[in-house]
Amino acid sequence: MGGADGLSRREFTTVGLGLGLAALVGCSGEGSAGGGDEDELVIGASLPLTGQFSQPGQEAGRGYRIWREMVNADGGILGRKVQLKITDDASSQDTVVSDYTRLITQDRVDFLLGTFSSLLNYPASAVAERQGMVFVEPAGGAENIFTRGFDHLFFAQPALSADQANTFVDWVKSLPAAERPTSAAYTTQDDPFTRPVIERLQGLLEDLGIRTVYTSVYPAETTNMQPIAAAIAGKKPELLAQGAVFQDGVGLVRALKQQDFSPKAFFQMSAPSNAGQYSKGVGTANTEGVFYSVSWHESAPTPLNKEFVTAYAKEYDNAVPAEDAADAFAAAQVLRAGIEGAKGTDQDKVAEWLHANEVETILGPLKWDKRGAPLGSFLLAQWQGGKVQIVSPEDAATTKTVIYPKPGWS
């Protein structure tokens, strides 16, 4: 999601810190050295362990490794232990292409797993497709990845990036007609990640008959959200959606409160998912009822999720897994299901099976259209009582309560 498709400037500056560590990780080698065991199933991946995407890249590496430990403890895949071969592409498109080519032609790995970010998965998936290898990617939700007619490519997240807010639309649809908001305002930062989501959301809500009363796009360097809030307050929309990154999301909440305007429903991108920083920035009481969407949640009641969170905490200093680690774990789950479903290692058969079946993952059930784009939707999260709850879909929900209409500001 966010981390994979567009790093914020802040993330960008922090990723450098990981460099030294990443170099160590990259050198540490994977699985049994020499790979002498004929019977092992070797799975190769190239990840951005250093460079611009090192933060999500390293998290993905952790997700893959936790999966390997769990699957080997479970007896492996079709009775064969799994060995991972992970190389570092340094967040470079050129390196990722040569890495995957080498994994396929020289190392002759049995299967591949995807890398991180749309930027790297775009060329990497082309290498795999050319060689007839199944390519399950944990990130890379840009639309243009799926318009090339590939049939060995699968995206292991619930939906493409631009469809992030569809889960919110579904929730609006689920309301009785009389309770639905009748008017809506949309404002978004001028950002390649947020803007398509908000524009698509607007189209879908207009199709439901919700009148658009305000739209605006503001530049990334906007710090003063007061005029936008004043303009929105003047239109009194019942629903407000913001394509926020972080600071602008906090700024709009504050400014709306200062204008004493609170919509019935409020959806923000990204900002509310930065748990502590968001609630401190807007005041915990003001988070009440704010919606956002996310691909995974640590306490989602999906199969194996609890085991994954526990194993991760045990391995990495009691840390809570990042969404990127969970996405990687889920991608590996998809590959395993494909191999076991096809009852063999024939790439075409695995791809066929995945196109025809639904797979249970820690993100929830995943299935794909013929392009390999997922047919599900993100989770809808809401701040309730100072905590984040998943409110939809039902099988992943952590609570049955949905706060609507949103209470006025504290």
Least distance CB 88 / other proteins (angstroms): 23
Element (DSSP H or E) covering residue 88: strand 82-88
Count interface residues toward other proteins (CB under 8 A).
39
Q: Does 281 engage in binding with other proteins (CB under 8 A)?
A: yes
**Under 8 Å between Cβ of 158 and 376:** yes
Show the site string, 193-232: x = touches other proteins by CB under 8 A, - = not. -----------------------xxxx-xxxx-xxx-xx-
User: Does residue number 260 form part of the binding site for other proteins (CB under 8 A)?
Assistant: yes
Q: How far is the CB of 223 from other proteins (least distance, A)?
A: 5
Nearer to other proteins, 260 or 394 (CB): 260
User: What would you measure as the largest C-alpha separation in the chain, in angstroms?
Assistant: 71
Report CA dihedral (34, 56, 297, 250) to the nearest 10 degrees: 170
To other proteins, the closest distance from the beta carbon of 254 in angstroms equals: 5
Distance CA(69)–CA(263), nearest Å, equals 47
Q: 341-360 mask for other proteins (x: CB under 8 A)?
A: --------------------
User: Which of 77, 86, 104, 253 is in the footprint of other proteins by CB under 8 A?
Assistant: 253
Instruction: Give the interface segment with other proteins, choosing from 85-93, 154-162, 276-284, 358-366 (CB under 8 A).
Output: 276-284
Interface with other proteins, residue 259, by CB under 8 A: yes
Q: Does 42 bind other proteins (CB under 8 A)?
A: no
Write the interaction track for other proteins spanning residues 307-336; mark x where CB under 8 A is met and - where it is not.
------------------------------
Q: Which amino acid is at 25?
A: V
Tokens of 171: 């929730």
b/e 164-178 (16+ beta carbons within 10 angstroms → b): bbbbbbebbeeeeee
> Hunting for tokens 């949905």 — which residue is that?
402
Q: How far is the CB of 190 from other proteins (least distance, A)?
A: 7
Q: Specify whether the CB–CB gap between 380 and 167 falls below 8 A.
A: yes
Look up residue 321 and give its amino acid.
P
Residue 303 CA: distances (Å) to CA of 94, 306, 307, 360:
37, 8, 9, 7
Q: Does the protein bind other proteins through residue 383 (CB under 8 A)?
A: no
* 282 makes contact with other proteins (CB under 8 A): yes
Give the C-alpha distances (Å, rounded to integers) separating 227 from 224, 233, 236, 259, 296.
Answer: 7, 10, 14, 10, 35
If binding is defined by CB under 8 A, does position 386 make contact with other proteins? no
Pattern 283-302, binding to other proteins, x per CB under 8 A? x--x----------------
H helical segments located in 136-244: 166-174, 195-207, 226-235
The single-letter code of the amino acid at 91 is S
Residues 111-170 that bind other proteins (CB under 8 A): none
Near other proteins in 10-29, by CB under 8 A: 10, 13-14
Binding part of the chain for other proteins, among 101-109, 274-282, 288-296, 339-347 by CB under 8 A, reads: 274-282
Identify the three-state secondary structure at position 260.
coil
In the complex, what is the shortest distance from the CB of residue 13 to other proteins, in angstroms, rounded to a whole number?
6
- Shortest gap between Cβ of 327 and other proteins (angstroms)? 23
Residue 241: name the closest of 179, 171, 180, 186 by CA. Answer: 186
Options 9, 33, 79, 106; binder of other proteins; rule CB under 8 A:
9
* Binding flag, residue 255, other proteins (CB under 8 A): yes
Beta carbon of residue 204, minimum distance to other proteins (angstroms, whole number): 23
Q: Which is nearer to other proteins, 250 or 402 (CB)?
A: 250
Tally helices (H) and strands (E) across the chain. 14, 14
How many whole angstroms separate alpha carbon 81 and alpha carbon 92?
A: 31
Spatial separation of the C-alpha atoms in residues 216 and 227, rounded to whole Å: 11
Write the DSSP string, 288-355. TTEEEEES--TT---TTHHHHHHHHHHHTTTPPPPHHHHHHHHHHHHHHHHHHHHTS--HHHHHHHHH
Residue with the two structure tokens 């191999």: 339
Query: CB of residue 12 vs other proteins: minimum separation in angstroms?
Result: 10
By the rule CB under 8 A, 190 interacts with other proteins: yes
In the complex, least distance from residue 296 CB atom to other proteins, rounded to whole angstroms: 22
Give contact residues for other proteins (rule: CB under 8 A). Answer: 9-10, 13-14, 187, 190, 216-219, 221-224, 226-228, 230-231, 234, 246-247, 250-251, 253-255, 257-260, 274, 277, 280-283, 286, 409
